[in-house]
Amino acid sequence: MAIMDILTVPDPRLKRKAKPVTEIEAVQSFIDDLLQTMYHTDDGIGLAATQVGSEHAIVVIDISEERNQPLVLINPQITESSGEFIGEEGCLSIPGYRSKVKRFESVTVSYLDRQGQAQTIHSDDFLAIVLQHEIDHLHGKVFIEHLSRLKQEMALKKVRKFTA
């Protein structure tokens, strides 16, 4: 297993859209690396493959306090959404910056699990926010794109200071 570098804004690779995974067996070691990279961070609770420069449509999430309950989503898609929620978000690709973001309060996501079995997950709590955040990455979108232009510029300035 390997710890991979996490891309930070404004790296253009973060704008790439992920491609569906067709060979589940071929991405198993990559999933291990993605999990290890997420767990290596101090506060990472989710990581999309696009954040490490991969075009695989894979997301890993672990919101457990013990950080020992990984959720692996391959080719995830939001199939239902409702309500509205505004909460504070941060991102491993935008270190040192947090802001309030409007999201759906409730989502249903269809995906393949690590064994390639079709699954559906429904959430109307914190996991719903994390799912939307990570799936946005697979669409080439970072959370600051939900903010005003001024707040986006503030975020970029903060990242430049943080990564300098």
Q: Give the CATH number for residue 139.
A: 3.90.45.10
What confidence tier does 164 reach under pLDDT thresholds 50, 70, 90? low
What is the number of domains present in the chain?
1
Among the listed residues 84, 134, 145, 153, the single catalytic one is: 134
Q: Is residue 92 part of a domain?
A: yes
Distance CA 117, CA 17 (A): 23
**Is residue 4 in some structural domain?**
no
pTM for this entry: 0.93
The answer to whether the annotation marks 40 as part of a ligand binding site is no
Tokens for 125, please give them.
């709590």
Residue 7 within a domain: no
Residue 51 in domain:
yes
In a domain, 3, yes or no: no
Among the ranges given (1-5, 17-21, 79-83), the one the predictor scored with the smallest mean pLDDT: 1-5
Residue 163 banded pLDDT, cuts 50, 70, 90: low
**Is 134 one of the catalytic residues?**
yes
User: Is residue 133 annotated as involved in ligand binding?
Assistant: yes
Quote the percentage of the chain above a pLDDT of 70. 98
Amino acid at 34: L
pLDDT for 130: 97
* Domain interval for residue 64: 12-163
Return the pLDDT at 104: 97
